[in-house]
């Protein structure tokens, strides 16, 4: 049994592991299941081994945050004054924008993972988030998989496939955790879901998301889509922003870039970069390259290399108190959304 507290107390081991975890993200496949689509944007062990008493004050993230104890024990406190102790073999899943703080209560190691939620028509109908409250997942399998991930990250063999091996371990760990959270696939909709699914706002946002995903290579504009759904561009912009969390332009760019990243990773050089850019709806190779570099931190050509590290996409927003966390709680967002939809229907 590995003593990770001792191993990762050595600074060069923690630095090497963080670098290998970061480079693996470029090869980690998105997690697409039951209407939710997640993309891993960060994975690290930070400074390595944490001493007792070390902690982080009130903060929040714009992504789903997974904190997985490898060794020792960590205490988390939420805005609702919930106290949760995370020990080895347990993973804590924190909703986006939820204020929380933590401290180490027994010297240990913790893996932090950030997952960006890519909206889909089904997740929009379910309010766009997977969980509303902080959740803990525990199993012996999580302990084994996180050990495998760290071992692979510290392994100096197989240089040609190292990042992909680590990515596979990371993907399996994420699947283990998310499977415990994802709802079962529904064969039919109950009355509550059916009513929510027929609300004009969510129906339109869901249709737009599906339309974009099916026509990524086409010439798509806000004006054209507004004409399709029969509303003003201003109203469509506000509606899409409310249900998806970003503007239609930003969402379209994100989906095109993510699709291009997938093609660059999987095509093995069979398609030229210019061909991939046009396939994904970019009319200019320069605009595609600049946008790709801005989001991922590397040129598109770098995705053809065995070793490549993408720019981290996760956020940390510090707060003086939990009340200063951005935006209302999920429950409040749901109530506000329902009220707005009633006004729209009226």
Place of tokens 């703080």: 101
Residue 337: per-residue pLDDT = 42
Residue 103: per-residue pLDDT = 95
Residue 121: per-residue pLDDT = 67
Residue 324: per-residue pLDDT = 63
The conformation of residue 35, written as its DSSP 8-state character, comes to T
Rounded Cα gap, residues 38 and 36, in angstroms: 7
Residue pair 71/108 in contact by the 8 Å Cβ criterion: yes
Three-class DSSP category at 208: helix
Reading the chain (346 residues) residue by residue, the pLDDT tens digits are 689 999 999 999 999 999 999 989 888 888 876 667 788 989 999 999 999 999 999 988 888 899 999 999 999 998 877 899 999 999 999 988 888 999 999 999 999 999 987 777 666 655 545 677 889 999 889 999 999 999 999 998 877 788 889 999 999 999 999 888 876 554 444 434 444 434 567 778 888 888 888 888 888 888 888 888 888 888 888 888 877 778 888 889 988 998 898 888 887 667 889 999 999 999 999 999 999 988 888 899 888 877 777 777 666 667 776 666 654 444 434 433 443 343 333 3
Cβ-count burial 119-149 (b if 16+ within 10 Å, e if not)? bbbbbbbbbbbbeeebbebbeeebbebbbbb
Q: Which two tokens stand for residue 238?
A: 């506000």
Residue pair 200/240 in contact by the 8 Å Cβ criterion: no
Residue pair 192/60 in contact by the 8 Å Cβ criterion: no
- Domains in the chain, please, with CATH? 4-178 (2.60.120.10), 191-304 (1.10.10.60)
Give the C-alpha distances (Å, rounded to integers) separating 91 from 38, 44, 152: 17, 14, 19
Rounded Cα gap, residues 293 and 273, in angstroms: 14
């Amino acid at each position: 049994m590995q003593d990770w507290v001792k191993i990762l107390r050595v600074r060069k081991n923690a630095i090497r592991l963080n670098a290998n975890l970061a480079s693996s993200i470029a090869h980690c496949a998105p997690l697409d299941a039951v209407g939710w689509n997640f993309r891993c944007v960060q994975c690290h062990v930070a400074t390595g081994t944490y001493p007792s008493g070390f902690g982080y004050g009130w903060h929040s993230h714009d992504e789903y945050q997974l904190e997985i104890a490898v060794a020792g024990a960590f205490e988390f406190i939420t805005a609702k004054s919930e106290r949760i102790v995370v020990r080895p073999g347990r993973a804590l899943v924190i909703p986006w924008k939820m204020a929380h703080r933590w401290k180490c209560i027994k010297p240990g190691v913790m893996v932090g993972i950030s997952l960006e939620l890519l909206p889909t028509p089904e997740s929009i109908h379910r309010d766009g988030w997977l969980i509303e409250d902080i959740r803990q997942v525990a199993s012996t399998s999580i302990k084994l998989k996180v050990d495998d991930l760290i071992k692979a990250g510290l392994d100096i063999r197989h240089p040609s496939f190292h990042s992909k091996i680590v990515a596979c371990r990371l993907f399996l760990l994420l699947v283990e955790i998310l499977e415990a959270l994802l709802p079962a696939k529904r064969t039919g909709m109950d009355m509550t879901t059916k009513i929510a699914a027929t609300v004009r706002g969510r129906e339109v946002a869901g249709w737009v998301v599906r339309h974009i995903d099916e026509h990524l290579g086409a010439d798509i504009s806000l004006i054209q889509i507004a004409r399709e759904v029969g509303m003003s561009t201003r109203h469509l912009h506000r509606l899409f922003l409310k249900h998806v969390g970003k503007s239609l332009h930003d969402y379209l760019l994100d989906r095109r870039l993510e699709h291009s990243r997938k093609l660059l990773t999987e095509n093995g050089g069979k398609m030229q970069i210019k061909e991939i850019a046009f396939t994904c709806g970019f009319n200019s190779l320069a605009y595609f390259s600049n946008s790709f570099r801005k989001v991922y931190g590397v040129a598109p050509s770098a995705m053809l290399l065995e070793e490549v590290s993408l720019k981290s996409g996760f956020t940390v927003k510090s707060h003086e108190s939990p009340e200063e966390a951005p935006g209302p709680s999920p429950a409040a967002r749901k109530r506000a959304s329902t009220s707005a939809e009633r006004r729209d229907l009226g």
